[in-house]
Amino acid sequence: MRPVVLILLLACVSVIVVPALAGWEELAVPPPLEENAVWMRPDYSRSPEPALKAPDLEYMEYTRSLPQGEYQICFYSDDSLPIGHGFIKILFPDGTMHGFGFYPPETGLWGRFFNSPGKMERDNTHEWDWKICYKVNRSTAVTALDTARAWRFGTYHLFDSNCVHFVDHVANQTGLAVAPNGTPERPGTLATGISQLPGAIKNANKDKTREMVFDPMTGTWMREDEQRAAARLRGKTARPDTAGPGMPLIGSRIETPDDLKNLVNGKVAAVPADLQKLAADKRVLLVVTGDGGERNTIGFTFLGTTVTGVEPGVEKPDYRVYATDQALTRIFAAEDPVTTYRTALGRGEIRIEPAAPADMALIGGSGFLNKASLLLTPSPFLIRKGEQKDLALNGKTYTLLRPMNILLQEKGSTDATVISSDGAAQGYTTTGIVRAITLSPQKHTTASGVYTRPATGIGDLAVAGFGLPDDQKIVTPSPAESAVLYTLQGGADPAHLVAGGAGFAYGYGEA
Amino acid sequence: MAGANTPAAPGKEPIPRWLKVAGIIVALVLLVIIVITLIPLPLEGMVRPDSRNGQVYAALAANGIPDAAVDMTKDRLLVSARVTNAADAPKVKYIVWGAASQVANPPPVIIVEVFSVDTPAGTNRVETASVQDYVAGKITLDELEKRVQAS
């Protein structure tokens, strides 16, 4: 064979094999994120382990001072329509009662369904339909208090972390039952579960806010007026709820998927018939963009024009509806929702698309091209200590600054990505943390205040120049030696992009 | 050994000079490609997040103190926290101590700096062993407080 042919053959093989060999190493899937990732904004209602395991010492001192004796923990379900609720109460040996209920924030409408800061409120006088009470010792009561305390800064999520999940979590932690089997996630199922347990109490009071009072003399729960009468007969007075001023009935809030279903069904009737037809017997995926750019999905299943299922997603949706939180809030609050909807549609705040076949972007570029570009051209991320400059990336403006580490911060955001000089993300921090380090007279190391977490908008950095469908967003970076791994959200198949600095991607692999 | 001026074998045409040069160039280009591909990217400015920092940060955030700068070395745990309400400043150390008590193999000293917004609101230093003694119930909270060096 002629030498020239051999050389050409070698050239062809090398061009294919060598970059592939280099790329294979970079396409290796890193360890699961859970092993090396910490949420910057922890969702401790879903997993409040850190708070449970690390209570502050002042609270620890309080619990150590609690008396021994018989406590009671009661689990409640309010199954009223359209808004239901689940909550607990803890009765102390001295008769003091503390009620706890987990709520979403009151501001906004749709945005607060997902990953919004939850609130623990005193539910001493909330309506209830069913309850189950257990006599417990001090240790179990403290466990319930610990759990309620852990949830007080928890994140509210309509599907994963609502008021009923809180109740269920307390039950799990204390080893008590709120359902014969399964995990209740909605007030209806919680009520059903409680009602099936021996010892469950149905609220016989006409005024559902009135508590069935525990009569310590007879050891039974009875209506308050009956207890007072019995106590008078015994020459003693009833002990009222001394837990403090009761909370007024909480105003209407969407708290659970059932509430959302009822809300949507209540509005569907006002929608013109031609629009109703669009949704009839369909599966619709609603993609809501919050004010901060975060995206969340809700899947609606229609039977006729009635919503029968509300879930975090839906398989093979017939339609995808893209909408902003603000637009949806205006529509549902409007007296004329149809006109408001059409206005939002005209403004582009709502977009409806028939389901598209799942298509994943094929990533061009190779390890060689990226490295060659980095070696031959100066990185836009080179910056001196103390310097600050603006960068335009993928249509957005970022501030690049270097106090201790190189930080890339999207304009208007409080979070900053810690990057290397070639643009590879190495972690995340916030301006608050940077400020605390700046103020500190003690010496912080460069690793101080740098964490790994799934990012959102900053993922655009790695895919500049590659067209991804709008609903496939980079959400999960994980720092590696010299590349960043991103997980694509959405689409039929989860996939990973392995990206390097300077906006080039090394390759593409499956999760 | 065959050279450029070696007569071609009978029946075969000599390789043109230009083709030989092209072959050398291709080989050189391939060599450059291989070298560049295999060069590791520069690691200047590499920051390695410390997972133990994240553990303490998570506990602080779960107890209502977001955005604390957490720095753990083999010698000390340093937490710089900013609170918006000056009345909350004295409580920060209890939360930090609680968080630190749960870390495996913690450093021997815990230093807590608190800022009320941007105003220093006190720094305190305590041995981790003392905190662990309190958590284990060996000493009271008052006894622990006596072991704190405040400034």
Q: Sort out which chain A residues have CB atoms less than 8 A from B53's CB and list them.
A: 447-451
Question: Cβ B54–A451 below 8 Å, yes or no?
Answer: yes
pLDDT recorded at residue A496: 39
Match 């998927």 to its residue by tokens. Answer: A257
In terms of Cα–Cα distance, which of A100, A54, A55 is closest to A75? A100
- For residue A38, give the nearest of B26, B58, B78 by CB distance: B58
pLDDT tens, residue order, chain A (511 aa): 566 666 666 666 655 555 444 433 332 222 233 322 332 333 333 444 545 556 688 888 888 888 899 999 999 998 876 668 899 999 988 888 888 998 887 655 565 666 677 788 888 778 888 999 999 999 999 999 988 888 877 778 777 788 898 999 899 889 998 887 767 777 778 888 898 888 888 887 766 666 655 555 565 555 555 655 666 655 543 333 322 222 222 223 456 677 777 777 777 666 666 667 767 788 888 877 766 566 677 888 888 888 888 876 777 778 778 888 778 877 776 767 777 777 777 777 787 776 543 322 222 233 445 455 555 566 677 788 888 988 876 667 888 888 888 888 878 777 787 877 766 667 778 888 889 998 998 889 888 888 765 333 333 333 332 333 444 443 333 333 223 334 433 333 333 343 333 333 333 333 3
pLDDT at site A460: 34
Identify which of A372, A426, A432 has the shortest CB distance to residue B47.
A426
Do A44 and B73 count as a contact with CB atoms less than 8 A apart? Answer: no
CA nearest neighbour of A324 among A310, A344, A338, A306: A344
Contact A55 B98 (CB under 8 A): yes
CA distances, B38 to each of A19, A132, A369 (Å): 9, 67, 12
Nearest to A42 among B53, B58, B81 (CB): B58
Within the 243-272 window of chain A, which residues sit less than 8 Å (CB to CB) from chain B? Answer: none
pLDDT of residue B2: 45
Q: How many helices (H) and strands (E) does chain B have?
A: 5, 5
Residue B80 to residue A437, Cβ atoms within 8 A:
yes
The span from the CA of A387 to the CA of A250, in Å, is 51
Is the whole model's pTM more than 0.90, yes or no? no
Cβ contact, residue pair B61, A41, below 8 Å: yes
**Considering only CB atoms, which chain B residues are within 8 Å of A368?**
33, 36-37
Distance (Å) of CA A150 to CA A100, A118, A338, A501: 12, 11, 42, 39
Output the average pLDDT for chain B. Answer: 83
> Using the beta-carbon criterion (under 8 Å), do B27 and A7 form an inter-chain contact?
yes
- B48 or A33: which carries more pLDDT confidence? B48
- For residue A78, the model assigns a pLDDT of 87
State how far Cα B61 lies from the chain centre: 19
Give the residue from chain A lying closest to B135, CA to CA: A57
> How many angstroms separate the CA atoms of B43 and A129, rounded?
62
Q: Which chain B residues are within 8 Å of A433, Cβ to Cβ?
A: 67-69
Whether A153 and B63 lie within 8 Å, measured CB to CB: yes
Which of A2, A17, A56 would you mutate first to test chain B, the one with the most B CBs within 10 A? A56
> Is residue B39 scored above 70 in pLDDT?
no
Tell me what the mean pLDDT of segment B89-107 comes to: 89
- The contacts of residue A90 (CB under 8 Å, 6+ apart) are A71, A72, A73, A74, A97, A98, A99, A100, A141, A144, A145
Mutate which: B67, B84, B93, B112, vs A, most A CBs within 10 A: B67
